[in-house]
Amino acid sequence: MQKMPKPICLRTPAKPNEVDFALKLLKTASFILVTFSQTCFCLAGLAITINDADEMLIENRYKQAEDAYRELLETDESGDVSAGLAVALAKQSYPAKIQEAEKVLKEARQKFSENPNVIAAGGYVSFVHSRSVASPAKRDLYLEAAESLCKRAIKANPEIVIAQQTLGLVKLAQDEIEEAIEPFRIAAKLAENPVNLTLLAQALLRSDPKNEEAEQLINKAIGIKADYYPAHLQKATILLQKGKAEDAFSELHNIPELNRTPDWHLVEGDVLKKQGDGPAALAAWRESIRLDPRSPEPYKRMAEYHTNRGDGELAIGELHDALEILPNDMLLHSQVAELALRQDKLDVAESEYRTILDAQPEDPQALLGLSRVYYRKARRDGQYPPGWQKLLDQLQNVVTEQSVKGQLLKDGTKNLQESIELSEAEKALTQKRFRDAKQHFSTVINNHKDNAFELLTLGDQAFNDGDLASAEQAFTLAKEIPEVASRAEQGLSKITSQKNEAERQTKLGDATEKMPEVAADHFKQALIADPECPSAFFGLYSLSARSNDPDQAISYANYFLEAAPDDNPLRQEVESNVVKLKKQIGKQKHK
């Protein structure tokens, strides 16, 4: 029986200046290929085995490791030497080296196609290559190849650390954070070193910035290797999340300049923003883009910054700049669409959702987003756009099918559920079910009560949807966050202005009740200012009742009962009159 190859095992960190976005963390990883033989050769007068070559790789002496593996290549009987050579070449990051690594692996696959180490090394090299191509389409192909190879290697041997680690990094690069956590966790269990601990912490923090386990992992990583700078970068992120901006700044600037990666500038921008220096924050994020133009994160930060300042056009512009670099990044298209929808830019939102659906016809988030655009247009235009029912039927079929299959939706079940809540809120508003709308909005708002960006955008969305009460809830929570307090005050001021205008128009309607057409126009103007104004609905109800139009009167009465608080003194009167009106209609039909 053929002896099963031992797994590639990650043990010690590489030089921090190799760090670069998702790849940076993989490039910091060094791993050892456990050998099957005691083959040795003479190099520089010393007898060196494959274990010695592995140690060179561990110590980041990539060129020396490459030379050692080359000498051992002729005696490679398992494929482990080929795998080691490929990784040593790829870790040097030069395009020519990466191409040679692919050639070495191609030959190794012909001889040792079932060796899991060879397969795992192929996944690693594919991931590295994904960072060197300009075409987004080619990048995606390399990432898909890396994922496929890593999963194949893991199936053969789950203890191949480099395969687990690479799979996690592929998921990070694809912005599928939840799916990255599990392989990182396995890698950390197999080899508890600073690299694996930091990778896992990074994924946990991207999933939940307040994750307590992440802080424990980072402290452990720094305890193992005090000068492992990627861990210090994550520690700065943790400190910032705790509101300790000055400590985060110090932690960040203790990292030597040679080790300041694109992510370093990204976090620096976050710290500067927290300290109130917006222009410096923008400069830091732009430097991150210069160093890694393929990362969407700085653009998201700048979009958030402009949104918090009330500059929706600039925010959408930043994300469109990102899309010029990554035109096939559907997650970015989705973010532009969502931001445009919350800014009431319905045509932009519709265009982005349709772009996603052209590429992914059954994407549930895009189908749901487009349905929300339709609901908003229905409220604005008074009728649903053509095809809206077909769209909803398609969405229902897709969600049901994926739920039955147990598939995890691309953007995560939490995000999908929030989108559904917002869609239901807008649908309820269209149907004047104001209480249901408030409940749906409130659920999402409370999920983000500490997130300034989300609170402001939710406030804008509720305001544009005409739910001033929900908008007030979001802006009031945002007001407690110093960095956006002034922007929240502006939102609350807009709400006050709308309510004052609704009250003014209602008083004019009351004053002109003897001229029903004039009064009705004032009441309707009040509802344009505040679509949930109880007194305006009551005025229209009263006019309809006096004009002997019971059907219309009942509609306005029901809208009043939906909009008015429970302690409104007119509720009992209206409820009693609705019963009488319904009896009146029944008698008319009976006749």
CA diameter of the chain: 114
Reply yes or no on whether the pLDDT at 17 is more than 70. no
CATH code of domain 296-402? 1.25.40.10
Question: Rounded mean pLDDT of 534-557?
Answer: 90
pLDDT in tens, 168-185: 999 988 878 899 999 999
Q: At the fourth CATH level, which superfamily is domain 8-244?
A: Tetratricopeptide repeat domain (1.25.40.10)
Contact 478, 456 (CB under 8 A): yes
CA–CA dist 539, 552 (Å, integer): 12
Question: Rounded mean pLDDT of 204-227?
Answer: 92
pLDDT attached to residue 41:
35
The share of the chain scoring above pLDDT 70, in percent, equals 85
Q: What is the DSSP letter of 385?
A: P
Q: Which two tokens stand for residue 392?
A: 């909803």
User: CATH 1.25.40.10 region(s) of the chain?
Assistant: 8-244, 296-402, 504-590
Reply yes or no on whether the pLDDT at 415 is more than 80. no
Reply yes or no on whether the pLDDT at 10 is more than 60. no
pLDDT in tens, 276-289: 899 999 999 999 99
CA–CA dist 526, 507 (Å, integer): 9
Query: pLDDT class for 313, splitting at 50, 70, 90?
Result: confident
Reply yes or no on whether the pLDDT at 148 is more than 90. yes
The helix/strand/coil state of 243 is coil
CA–CA dist 383, 365 (Å, integer): 23
Contact 28, 13 (CB under 8 A): yes
CA–CA dist 251, 238 (Å, integer): 11
Reply yes or no on whether the pLDDT at 429 is more than 50. yes
pLDDT in tens, 228-247: 999 999 999 999 999 899 99
pLDDT attached to residue 412:
45
Reply yes or no on whether the pLDDT at 32 is more than 50. no
The share of the chain scoring above pLDDT 90, in percent, equals 44
Q: Which candidate, 114, 104, 94, 110, places its Cα nearest to that of 3?
A: 114
pLDDT in tens, 98-133: 889 989 998 998 899 889 989 999 999 999 888 877
> According to the 3-state scheme, what is the secondary structure of 437-486?
HHHHHHHHHHHCCCCHHHHHHHHHHHHHHCCHHHHHHHHHHHHCCHHHHH
The helix/strand/coil state of 47 is strand
Query: Tell me, which fold does domain 504-590 have in CATH?
Result: 1.25.40
Check: pTM over 0.95? Answer yes or no.
no
Which option is the CATH number for 412-503: 1.20.1070, 1.25.40, 2.40.50, 1.10.3210? 1.25.40
CA–CA dist 447, 440 (Å, integer): 11
CA 533 to chain centre: 36
